[in-house]
Structure 1
Amino acid sequence: MSKTPLTVRGAELIKAELQRLKSEERPRVIAAIAEAREHGDLKENAEYHAAREQQGFIEGRIQELENKLANAQIIDVKTLNAGGKVVFGATVELLDLDTDKEVSYQIVGDDEADIKSGLISVNSPIARALIGKEEGDEITFNAPGGEKHYEIVAVKYI
């Protein structure tokens, strides 16, 4: 199985969620199950069944996060010597050549992507068009809304 790229920030967020699930959510749901068992007949105990369902969700999420970390290639963009090229983890300032608006995106792993926060997946059409390019280059790619044209204004490794 190939490694999935992940930024240092993305790995820290996953670790924090994993820690919260293990130290807060898991003990809380175990206590809820124990309390529901004290109420007697488990066949008709809705609290018990709801707590068991929540426990299954939490355990599944813990396993999912542990697998993501185990299969992650954590990349610290600050340590890369990319020579001004757009690489995974780079923050790219772009000028939309159609509207003259500037936008800024950081290229991140699939699990970290959040377009509203300016985080785009390395597998997105725009990121694939950007990878390997340099400041001053122009890119054209097909987006869901049609063909887009951008100029790379700046490449930062932060």
Structure 2
Amino acid sequence: MPAQMQHSIDIARSPAEVYAFITQPWHWHHWHPSSRSAKAQVSELAVGDSFDEEIVVQPLAPLPPSLHRETHYQVLAAAPGQHWLCRGQMRDGWLEIRYQLQPSVVGTRLTRTLTFDVGGITRLMMPLLRRRQRVLSPVALSNLKTLLEAR
């Protein structure tokens, strides 16, 4: 059964500014602890475009064992300043990342929904992966807020 988690944060930037930054995966490593790098053939991702990301997850953090994941994504939905959805495939699983943006008193209310599932031997680690992502997702959004509000 897939895991799903949703977290929201208010960021003192306009929805257009937040959208422009978060929909460029090559920036993700600046704010998301699991992201190491990402690349695409285009500078702005539209529906149908694809990109690749290297992810490293430590299910037993702070212990050192880690999972290195090469993930190939496709953008499924893109409405600037409103929402963005991509789906990634990896060797033994998949994930979806959905960003929903709404104007707020502060600037933008960003909601990030992560849905993922794994198979094979990695499935045995699913409870640890769920727990780790529940810790990392709010940290990532806090990092993003700090980064964008400092600009």
What TM bracket, shorter-length normalisation?
under 0.3
Using the size of structure 1 for normalisation, the TM-score is 0.27
Considering fraction of residues, name the structure with more helix. 1
Considering fraction of residues, name the structure with more strand. 2
Using the size of structure 2 for normalisation, the TM-score is 0.27
Which structure has the bigger radius of gyration? 1
